[in-house]
Amino acid sequence: MGPVTNNPFLVAIINMTVVFGVLIVLGVLMHVIEMVDPTKKKAAPKAAAPVAAAPAAAAVAAPVVEDKSEEIAAVIAAAVAACGGAENVTAVRIAAPAASWAVGARAEAQTVKPFM
């Protein structure tokens, strides 16, 4: 076996060079594959657009948001009853969409045993 270095900085520089070198090569390979991708759909030639558009088509209506909280609560209640855990459920609250870290915190709070 040849000479071995014990210098941690030299080992770190060599490792980082190898890691970033491989990442650069993979990035270039991804761009080459993207350029020669045979499965990519060809862009269809655009047809001539009509000169005068209807004024009613220009106005875009706001999307209608339906309140499905009762349906969701019914589905949750049916799932809990099907699992046989209805006696342990005290309340069902439909939370607003939250950030992923908040969802993770809720999941962790439900799985971690209390410190008592």
Residue 115: the pLDDT is: 59
For the CA atoms of 45, 50, 54, 56, what is the dihedral angle to 10 degrees?
Answer: 10
pLDDT in tens, 33-45: 988 887 877 776 6
Chain centroid, CA 84 distance in Å: 32
Residue range 48-73: mean pLDDT, rounded = 64
- pTM summary value: 0.34
